[in-house]
Structure 1
Amino acid sequence: MSWFESLILGLVQGLTEFLPVSSSAHLRLTAAFSGWEDPGAAFTAITQIGTEAAVLIYFRKDIARIVAAWARSLTSKAMRQDHDAQMGWLVIVGSIPIGVLGVTLKDQIEGPFRDLRITATMLIVMGVVLGVADRMAARDETGGRHRAPKQRKALQDLSVKDGLIFGLCQAMALIPGVSRSGATISGGLLMGYKRESAARYSFLLAIPAVLASGLFELKDAVGSGHVSWGPTAFATVIAFISGYAVIAWFMKFITTKSFMPFVWYRIALGVVIIALVAAGTLSPHAAESAG
């Protein structure tokens, strides 16, 4: 991997990780359309450490408060009723599905799931799901001619059941094209949560899963000879910088705007990919690494 490739791929990772458009799909497609080798699951997982570092810094106050309350709840029964302590436990509970499925489906994630036909299909399907969820949220927020606006749930209303459902939605992002934030935000909206609440929990829920995945891949990559360490580290730094900027913008965007621009973008991109593959212009295995 060249330094220029790492710059572009790092930017793509940072710009798309937190938007509901699938960073893994965009990394794969960037390589395919540019004639580069597939950066691979290991590159994706390691550069995600950079984007999660951006989450840690952006939400540092929330995270510090949650971790402190959770730690105190281990020895204090009274603290177990504290919202921040409960959030700590709910992040752990919500991380279980992706942990189990990530280990179970590792070979599929690094192999068959990277087929561009699957990626395109997931872009379209999850785009439609996000669109339906967004319209439901908008209807509740604005009401209608014969109904008053409906109060949607906040993070204080999060239960163990909802946390597990969020976690199952996050696990779907193991398939390129789904989008971690897209799946969890869609799940949250369909369960009746506010946009900002669904997005905030989505970001917090991703921290243990992404960091664990990145460190796991990092361990396997050490001494394997299959990772260009200099460019990969550079891409991780770029992903951190661009990812932080996207988080700040996205959290403001969702307070007043609809997710529909992302919905139409996902559907259009998926249709283009399917058309190119069907026409033989693009191989469904384009840019796959030989290793």
Structure 2
Amino acid sequence: MTLFEIIILAIIQGITEFLPISSSAHLILPSELLGWQNQGLAFDVAVHVGSLLAVMIYFRADIARMLVAWVQSGFSRQQTDDSKLAWWVILATIPAVVFGFVAKDFIEEYARSALVIACTTIFFGLVLWYADATGKLSKNIYQLTWKNALFIGLAQAMALIPGTSRSGITMTAGLMLGMDRESAARFSFLLSIPVILGAGLLATLDLFQQETVVDWEALFYGIGLSFVSAYTCIYLFLSWISKIGMLPFVIYRLVLGVVLLGFVFW
């Protein structure tokens, strides 16, 4: 990859990882539409490391409270709000792990195409609009139940299909359950931590099994730029989402999907 491609892809990953517009779609598109060289597994790991650092540092106080409460409460019946939230994150992660192991190879072979991305971008964009327009927007993050967490986790599992958007589908599920926009986004971001960490570890193991030359300069830029763009994105999104709603992202998804269909058929 050229330095320009490295910079653009790292920034794209950092921004789109947490916006409801699909990071995987945007990382696939440059190679599909512009003929750019595939960024490769090592660079994929690097930009996800940057995104992971960003979300963990931003939510460091929340993570610390949840971890302490979870350790102190354990499996007892006396759970605090923070220990329950930690359990709900764990529970909501399980469906994605199971579905990932079962369907990973199938998705890699058949679902990573511009046509699939176009269709899922449009469809799940409309679902996001419906959830945002009809949701009660009254439930905060501590009012989630285990059934709510499992529902969001099942929705997250669908995000393995490129174009769905992990953050988009989990926020959609949260809105459908009556969560306010900021709480739906915060739970989605907290839920991203074990998912990104797990995916990064698996990709790292795959990387060690390959005999490839690693471009350390590209990895350095990838981690740094994705971290900065992801942290900025999280901060701005949580600051604005209650005011602007999901409609701007829905419109973006619809326009992107139509453009992609144009590339596919014309």
TM-score scaled by length of structure 1: 0.86
Counterparts of 1:52-131 in structure 2 under 5 Å?
Answer: 52-74=52-74, 77=76, 80-131=78-129
Query: Is the Cα–Cα contact under 8 Å of residues 96 and 153 in structure 2 kept in the other structure?
Result: yes
Equivalences for residues 11-26 of structure 1 within 5 A: 11-26=11-26
CA displacement at 1:271 relative to structure 2: 1.0
Partner of 2:172: 186
Partner of 1:237: 224
In 2, are the aligned partners of 1:131 and 1:263 still within 8 Å (CA)? yes
CA RMSD in angstroms, aligned pairs only: 1.7
Relative to structure 1, the CA distance from residue 105 to residue 82 in structure 2 (aligned partners, 3 Å threshold; closer, same or farther) is same
Counterpart secondary structure, 2:225 = helix
Rounded Cα–Cα distance in structure 2 between residues aligned with 1:229 and 1:31: 19
Determine the structure 2 residue equivalent to 1:282: none
Query: Aligned equivalents of 2:157 and 2:41: distance in 1?
Result: 15
**Residues of 1 paired with 2:147 and 2:254: CA distance?**
31
* 1:238 CA drift (Å): 1.0
Q: Give the partner amino acid of 2:223.
A: T
- AA matched with 1:115: S
1:171-210 → structure 2 map (5 Å cutoff): 171-210=157-196
Q: Residue by residue, what CA displacement relative to the aligned partner does 1:200-245 show, whole Å, maximum 9, x if unpaired?
A: 0000111111101101101110251357442134212210111000
Partner residue of 1:265 out of 245, 249, 252:
252
What's the TM-score once normalised by structure 2's chain length? 0.94
Look up the match of 2:207: 221
Identity value in percent: 43
Aligned letter for 2:67? Answer: V
SS of match in other structure, 1:81: coil
Q: Which runs of 5+ in 1 are unaligned?
A: 142-151, 280-291
Q: How many residues align?
A: 265
Q: Output the CA distance in 2 between the equivalents of 1:8 and 1:51.
A: 15
Whether 1:167 aligns to 2:156 is: no
Q: 1:227 to 1:153 in 2, by over 3 A?
A: farther
Structure with the higher helix share, 1 or 2 = 2
Closer, same or farther: CA 15–153 of 1 in aligned 2, 3 Å? same
Q: CA 1:115 to 1:29, structure 2 compared with 1: closer, same or farther past 3 Å?
A: same
* Structure 2: distance between partners of 1:191 and 1:36: 40
C-alpha contact (below 8 Å) 1:221/1:227 kept by paired residues? no
Instruction: Give the superposition deviation at 1:49.
Output: 2.1
CA distance in 2, matches of 1:65, 1:16: 27
Indicate the larger mover: 17-26 or 229-238: 229-238
What secondary structure is seen at the aligned counterpart in 2 of 1:37? coil
Task: Report how far residue 42 of structure 1 moved.
Answer: 6.4
Checking the alignment, whether the CA contact within 8 Å between 1:22 and 1:180 is kept in structure 2 is yes
Gaps of 5+ in 2: none
Q: How far off its partner does 1:43 sit? A: 4.2
Give the C-alpha shift of residue 40 in structure 1: 5.2
Per mean C-alpha deviation after superposition, the further-off stretch among 47-56 and 35-44 is 35-44
What corresponds to 1:287 in structure 2?
A: none
- Cα separation, 1, equivalents of 2:234 and 2:265: 36
CA distance in structure 1 between the partners assigned to 2:32 and 2:99 by the alignment: 27
**Residue type at the aligned position of 1:63:** I
Matched residue, 1:134: 132
Residue 182 (structure 1) shift? 0.5
